[in-house]
Copies of this chain bind each other. A is one copy, B any other.
Amino acid sequence: MDKTKVGIIGLGTVGSGVARLLLDFGDRTGRHAGRTLWLEKAVVRDLAKARDCDLPASVLTDDIEEVLNHPEIEVVAQLIGGLEPARTIMLKLLESGKDVVTANKALLAQHGPELFDRARELGRSIAFEASVAGGIPIIANIGQCLSANQIESLFGILNGTSNFILSKMHEDGAAYADVLAEAQRLGYAEADPTMDVDGADAAQKLAILAHLAFGARVDWQDIPRTGIDKLDVADVRYAQEMGYKIKLLAVAQLVGDGLELHVSPTLVKAGTPLAEVGGPFNAIRVVGDAVGPLLFYGAGAGQMPTASAVVADLIDTAVGRTKITFKTLELWSNRQARVTANDYAQAKGRFYLRANVVDHPGVLAQIATALGRQQVSIASVLQHEAEEGSQVLPLVIMTHETTEGAAAKACEEIAAFKSVQGDLVRMWVRG
């Protein structure tokens, strides 16, 4: 059987999973690729560190030149996180004639245009299935399988850590900080979970999907985002009472000629498929104009699910499919900048608002008047009991359809009222 020699840079969680699939299941990759994917070199920083895979001694090295200068290594899985040295290494790999596979969403969301342009100039390819939604093959599905469609919308649960925390808050009624601590104990959250819980990780993935599905070229940092790190468990309870679950949704949908694009905690109707995605799982609902709604569900992270996506890319690259796809899709090329993001303030939807009010006559009328001034009309009001020992009453308002901007402005105005304590909570409502 023919061989394709493969290199791996970085033997952390994902890298060692990839090594295991290549080393332990060569027959399997052989069957699907019609050739052997031969792990020739794996580059690490620290040779002495214990690895989560058994490597032949000749494979491990701390010298990246052994990959760059290896004439027979054709494909390299670049599995280092962060921007540098990942970016420099990626460019060097391309310049040494290697096709690259990566799981690094931060790198692509930040430096996609540069990296893809360079790969094109050099006649090389970059595959990145693992960079979004881990084991769910969403890149191949949007980039290839749905080619006959204009994608109309894409709603994703793209961060497993946040989804695990939200699911637990719903199940146990526990506070955010307690659930986060538990998630860290169980390995579902990093020691520093900032990027996961503040929406940054989801925004990076959304930037990649929005480019692939709509041709939008956005800086992920320009995507309006709200995380779950300030979520009060009281709102989880109120949402539940009204038949909703709170999910961190990444949204990209065509509205007019532009794209509604944001990452937001959202009340999703209980019983709908996205609302029922529990634990650390991810899911993406895609609507295409020909195919209608599709849902993809699976593990969005984890060693072997992510390695599954990386190895699929290695196979695609080894057999030549990636080369074709890379060429036809022209990702991050100027030809592909087809759509831009709409002004977020114009985005339309229904909202959940909560104000903590001091109980005195006239406060509801005052709030309703402020909403009316911004043309925000009220669908329902729920006055909750004060928490024990507190004088303030949580007032929950569901609006009819309005714009993000109007809701935000009304909230700002209301927060300034003497009878209202602190900022208002504001979340999207879907379904």
Contact = CB atoms under 8 A, between A and B. Distances in A.
A307 B290 contact: yes
A57 to B, nearest CB: 25
Contacts of A21: 148, 290
Given A141-B137, A148-B312, A304 B328 contact: no
Interface in A133-154: 135-137, 140-141, 144-150
A33 interface: yes
Contacts of A296: 294-297
A399 to B, nearest CB: 28
Given A17-B290, A32-B148, A293-B298, 14 more contacts: A21-B290, A28-B150, A34-B327, A140-B140, A140-B141, A276-B276, A289-B304, A290-B311, A291-B308, A291-B309, A292-B302, A293-B299, A295-B295, A320-B324
A29 interface: yes
A50 to B, nearest CB: 22
Interface of A: 17, 21, 25, 28-29, 32-34, 129, 135-137, 140-141, 144-150, 271, 273, 276, 288-299, 302, 304-305, 307-312, 315-316, 319-321, 324-325, 327-330
A144 B140 contact: yes
Contacts of A294: 135-136, 296-298
Contacts of A146: 137, 308, 312
A289 B414 CA distance: 53
A17 B17 CA distance: 43
A147 B32 contact: yes
A32 B143 CA distance: 8
Given A297-B273, A311-B147, A312-B147, A34 B140 contact: no
Contacts of A325: 319, 321
A324 B171 CA distance: 47
Nearest to A215: B31
A144 B308 contact: no
B311 A291 contact: no
Q: Which residue of A135, A136, A288 has the most chain B CB atoms within 10 A of its CB atom?
A: A135
Nearest to A285: B297
Contact of A308 (B288, B302, B305, B327): B288
28 contacts: A17-B290, A21-B290, A25-B150, A28-B148, A29-B147, A129-B145, A140-B144, A140-B145, A144-B316, A146-B308, A146-B312, A147-B311, A148-B308, A149-B308, A290-B304, A290-B305, A290-B308, A291-B304, A291-B308, A292-B302, A292-B305, A293-B299, A295-B295, A295-B296, A296-B296, A297-B297, A321-B321, A321-B324
Contacts of A319: 324-325, 328
A260 B330 CA distance: 44
A328 B33 contact: yes
A321 B326 CA distance: 12
Contacts of A34: 327-328, 330
Nearest to A32: B147
A81 B172 CA distance: 53
B297 A291 contact: no
The 4 closest A-B pairs by CB, nearest first: A137-B145, A148-B311, A32-B147, A34-B328
A25 B311 CA distance: 34
A305 B145 CA distance: 12
Contacts of A307: 148, 290
